[in-house]
Amino acid sequence: MRPLPVIVGSPARRSALWLCCALVACGAPAERAGEAEAVFRIQPVRPVAELRAEALAAEPPAPDSGMLAPDLVELRSLDSTIHYDIRYATDRNFMGVPFYDTALAFLQRPAAKALVRAHRKLRAEGYGLLIHDAYRPWYVTKMFWDATPDSLKRFVADPATGSRHNRGAAVDLTLYALDAGRPVVMPSGYDEMTERAYPDYTGGTTTEREHRARLRAAMESVGFAVYEFEWWHFDYRDWPRYPVMNVRFRDLLGAQRGTP
């Protein structure tokens, strides 16, 4: 545990700041006690720049025969009302550095169309979907794996087999309350590597668990299944039929626009 700093100010301010510092020191979200959404952080086991260079130079696993041809589509091209908070295009993620050069979200076309159906079903209930991540290049998955301590590796995919995100058939998302104009509160923050992230976690408030159940029901109704350790992660039913991909966003955009 990192040592806690000396806190100055009024007694109330000292108490609030001490709690936040204690949570960070214990590896918990820095903002669980405040109004802002928590951002869980790890201490990467190796320097991020070193991990990035190695990952970009590495090769993903070879595809099996008989895979479906990739057909990635940007989600907002199908429905512009889908909300985005693409964490890996910012430093507001568990490693504290940007990984993507643009804040977009791609899925294989059948998965994207299914997600849009879930989004539109939720609209009638006063909610929408907010996307945190979708297709993820393989080199980013390798960075995650190599950076994460062994004790937390159940929350990241092994690059030896690739992630379902690498196949363009997995999405990280949450509910967005249309009347409030913001994401709902869930039992844990996004990418929080604790038991609070489990989809069957029994803690939290009744409202938080109801939000989680509503999201899961909407996604399961259109062919997605929740990941056993993360309430926000959903895999489309055909994910094994797509190859692991390692195309960077800027190259993917260039290919779709027909530019070099």
**pLDDT tens digits, one per residue of 116-146:** 999 999 999 999 999 999 999 999 999 999 9
Is the pLDDT at 16 greater than 90? The verdict is no
Q: Is the pLDDT of residue 10 over 60?
A: no
What local confidence, expressed as pLDDT, does residue 209 receive? 98
Residue 230 appears among annotated catalytic residues: yes
Mean pLDDT (whole number) for 141-157: 97
The CA–CA distances, whole Å, from 81 to 120, 158, 255 equal 9, 33, 25
* pTM of the model as a whole: 0.84
| Least trusted range by pLDDT, from 2-6, 90-94, 208-212, 251-255 | 2-6
Structural domains of the chain, with CATH: 1-36 (no CATH), 47-257 (3.30.1380.10)
Instruction: Read off the pLDDT of residues 21-69 as tens digits, 9 standing for 90 and up.
Output: 333 333 444 333 334 567 999 999 999 999 999 999 999 999 888 999 9
pLDDT digits (tens, 9 = 90+) for 206-240: 999 999 999 999 999 999 999 999 999 999 999 99
Mean pLDDT, rounded, for 175-195: 97
Q: Provide DSSP, the chain.
A: -PPPPP--S-HHHHHHHHHHHHHHHTTS-TTTTSSSPP------SS-HHHHHHHHHHS-PPPPPTTPPPP-EEEGGGT-TT-EE--GGGSS-STTSS---SS---EEEHHHHHHHHHHHHHHHTTTEEEEEEE----HHHHHHHHHHS-GGGGGGS--TTT--TTTTT-EEEEEEEETTTTEEPP-SS-TT--SGGGSTT---S-HHHHHHHHHHHHHHHTTTEEEETTEEEEEEETTGGGS------HHHHHHHHHT--
Who contacts 77 (Cβ-Cβ below 8 Å, separation ≥6)? Answer: none
Residue among 59, 210, 228, 230 flagged as catalytic: 230
- Identify the band that residue 257 occupies on the pLDDT scale cut at 50, 70 and 90: low
Contact 131, 85 (CB under 8 A): yes
- Asked if pLDDT for residue 148 goes beyond 50, the answer is yes
Write down the pLDDT at residue 23: 34
